[in-house]
Amino acid sequence: MPIPSFLFSCRQATLLIERQAAGPLPTATRAQLWAHLRLCTYCRRYEFQSDFIARQARPAAGAMVPPHVVLPAAARARLQQLLAAVVPPAPATASGFSKDG
């Protein structure tokens, strides 16, 4: 049975669930997401799990790493290499400098 056109797909719904965690959605979008979640048990489960993970991670994100814990240089280099492969460099401005620096 096809999804009515006024409802979001599951892909759209999960994206909006994550965006909603970062800030409020427009009223119409929130209403459409609410309607999708009433009909879709999978997206309701995704919303619950996403919220659960965020609540569990919050205390860890604010925790201080003890000063004696040091990331080995090889591990640091490997992480930087992996990040460079997935995160594109910041675009340069007209002055030739990136926006970040």
Distance of alpha carbon 72 from its chain centroid, rounded? 28
Specify the amino acid at residue 2: P
CB atoms within 10 A of CB 13: 21
The pLDDT tens digits of the residues spanning 41-75 come to: 999 999 999 999 999 888 887 788 788 888 899 99
What pLDDT is stored for residue 40 in this prediction?
Answer: 94
Give the helix/strand (H/E) hosting 73: helix 73-86
Q: 35: Cβ–Cβ under 8 A, 6 or more apart, which residues?
A: 6, 7
| DSSP conformation letters of 5-41 | TTSPPHHHHHHHHHHHHHSPPPHHHHHHHHHHHHH-H
Is the pTM for the entire model greater than 0.95?
no
